[in-house]
A and B are shown apart, each in its own frame.
Chain A
Amino acid sequence: MNNVNDIITQELRAFASSLLESGEVSAFLGFAHGSLPMTTRPFVAKTPEDAQKLVWNSFCVLNLANYLPALLKSIEPPRGPKDPPPEGPLPKAGVIATGCWSRNIVVQTQENQVDRSRLVIAGVSSRGMVDRKKVLKALDGKEITKIEEKDHDLIVEADGAIKELNRWSVTRDNCQSCVHSSAVVFDHWIGPKLDDRQAPNRFKQIEDIEKMTADERWAWFSKEIETCIRCYACRNACPLCYCETCFVDDSNPQWVGKSIEKADAAIFHLLRAFHCAGRCTDCGACESACPMGIRMRLLTKKLEKDVFELFGDEAGMDASKPLTMTTYKLEDPQGFIFEPKHGQKKE
């Protein structure tokens, strides 16, 4: 019997190749196999043959929306910087999208980074992606040489020994707290359409941190970012980060120092997180991309919680509404401005 991933993979390949065959899209963005266990590669199929390389499994941890602005640009007919855009519609791209990625596409359309009419979105229900760091931990850090995915289990081969892990037990924190696991915008559906998971307490991780005293919180934060090497994989994996010049690269004014000393790393993380307020979909790409295992997603999750509790908004759910931080209402809560310590309470 075929498992869910195989079904999705088959349907995805067929759909992408039909779009490429008919010329409806010039490129289809998905994932291909990686060279190591638990890795995948974002992959752009340009021909129906390429489309046969697309795969779907629990290791598709990056957010494909991140590639869309550049991909759409790359398939436009070449023209000089001052030439007007060509007449008629520009070529389209196809993409597979889970709940969070589709919400990021919505944010990108709200922010004019992506033209929705140039996308063909293949919606999918995500069953949660696996955190490879959790798998490594479950195997005491042994080197994993092979992994086979069943619907509910992972069969892991590490240093000769074989271990069966429950798949859900090693899914990412963001997936375990997700309440919008199926694509919210799509043109076509791939695989079984599952009900959105109802995470019992989606903000549990944040509430635990909120319970700490200020000193404890500072200690937690300092420890969390202690091993950050400032590689910016977290920033670059994020579909929200598209500024021409990032604040970390600005030298006039210089917002943040260049070293990995505590003050510099802390400012980088705090500023990065705040730039995502009201826009972050908790896709977890940042955390998955980090080579050092830093859980910087907890910062954006806190902002997600605040935006939800203060304004009742969730990013990327409704393209017709303005983004939370780009608008205001007279009845918006404001107590937190005057009484910072009550900032977490709903007015």
Chain B
Amino acid sequence: MKTIFLNEKELLALLASWCETFDVYAPNDGKGEDAACSVIGWGKIASKEEFYGVLPDKIAKGVHKTSIKPFFFPQPETLVTFTSDNKPCAPLANTVGQKRLILGVRPCDARSVMLNAMPYRDDPYYQANQNKTVLVGVGCNEKAITCFCEKTGGSPLGTDGLDILITTLGTGFALEALTNQGDELLGSQGAALDEALLAEFTKRRESFAADAQKANSTPSLKGKDLMSLYQSKIWQDLSQSCINCGACTFLCPTCYCFDIQDEAIRKDKGSSNACACGTGGCACDAPSVRRIRYWDSCMFPLFTKHASGHNPRGTKEHRVRNRFMHKLKYFPDRFGALSCVGCGRCIRECPVNIDIREVMTTLLAVD
């Protein structure tokens, strides 16, 4: 895999050239206009001015308000549609559509895509969404006060989940290809790093890796008997102020719980063509149904509620415990890594300021 050096002008030209083959997305303030993929806080870009905003030295520090999770785990995702006359309906929405490329992705967010792909490894929807998406990351020159990626196994220069990582280097930018796809995209652009730049690049990489390894609390958390805390009073104290909203889990890039429902298709949901399911491609106008997968949250009262009415996570205390134990105990037990990338969104937006860093400290204090 190559690493190349580009100046600002060359980099902007390269980004613009990608628009020819991809739908290119980047952080914005609103809702993507695009019917095929409407992600809050990420929109399609095309103009040169917009590209400035995603350069590593221009982009706002820390993470963008919303994560890239909905590109892979849309809210809602149509799993299948069917009609009252039993005719086969439109093909799965996610098997069609243009390849897309997301710019301005922080290392923590990219890592979340890789982590979520573990429980979704056999999920055709997630996999299809992942297969049609290229992630181009920007390294973090500075951390926000809510950033703690290193504690969770990541790093401000982390490469997990990315196809290309762009970082500032010397008077320009280093572009590091991390997958074959990334390598191809860089093509024959730019020059390889010269000796001095290569030395700086390697040194920086090594020092970040060493810092990240030191700060990573995954091994120590995994060494603790966290189940001994299952009945502890800490959950009661922690959950007292929680209002059980979904702000934390919905903004979290690594929360991936869902529920499924069938819905009669309403005309307003689709495009303006005759196809009622809105996926396009078919021309039926029979009453139809879509089966959607939509976000659920362990904070919500319906989460894990049984048909009998019983809910094993029926109280606020149980819900809060589930959120943290899932991220810091159950997921690591099954998949090795924490289900948290340290992006800090949940800390930033929690209306009652529940801070996962403090929870980690509490858990680490156990014998």
- Seen from chain A, the residues whose Cβ lies within 8 Å of a Cβ on chain B are 34-36, 39-44, 62, 66-67, 141, 143, 145, 159, 226-227, 229-233, 235-237, 245-246, 249, 251, 257-263, 288-289, 291-292
Contacts and interface: CB of A to CB of B under 8 A. Distances in A.
22 contacts: A35-B358, A36-B353, A42-B240, A42-B241, A42-B352, A44-B240, A66-B243, A229-B75, A229-B251, A231-B251, A233-B351, A235-B245, A236-B243, A237-B245, A249-B300, A249-B301, A258-B292, A259-B75, A259-B294, A260-B75, A262-B268, A292-B65
Contacts of B66: 229
A261 B145 contact: no
Given A35-B358, A41-B352, A62-B352, A259 B241 contact: no
Interface stretch (B129-137, B206-214, B258-266): B258-266
A293 B18 CA distance: 33
Nearest to A144: B145
Given A143-B61, A145-B145, A263-B266, A231 B41 contact: no
A41 B301 contact: no
Residues of B in contact with A, size category: 35 or more
A231 B247 contact: yes
A266 B61 CA distance: 33
Contacts of A261: 76, 269
Contact of A257 (B60, B240, B263): B263
A227 B292 contact: no
Given A42-B240, A229-B246, A259-B294, 8 more contacts: A35-B347, A36-B355, A41-B241, A62-B351, A229-B40, A229-B75, A231-B247, A263-B266
A258 B243 contact: no
A76 to B, nearest CB: 15
Given A43-B241, A231-B245, A258-B292, A36 B351 contact: no
B351 A289 contact: yes
B144 interface: yes
Query: Interface SS of chain B: helix, strand, loop or mixed?
Result: loop
A265 B247 CA distance: 15
Nearest to B143: A143
A291 B349 contact: yes
B40 A227 contact: yes
A262 B294 CA distance: 15
A263 B268 contact: yes
Interface string B301-329: 11000000000000000000000000000
Contact of A141 (B60, B244, B266, B292): B60
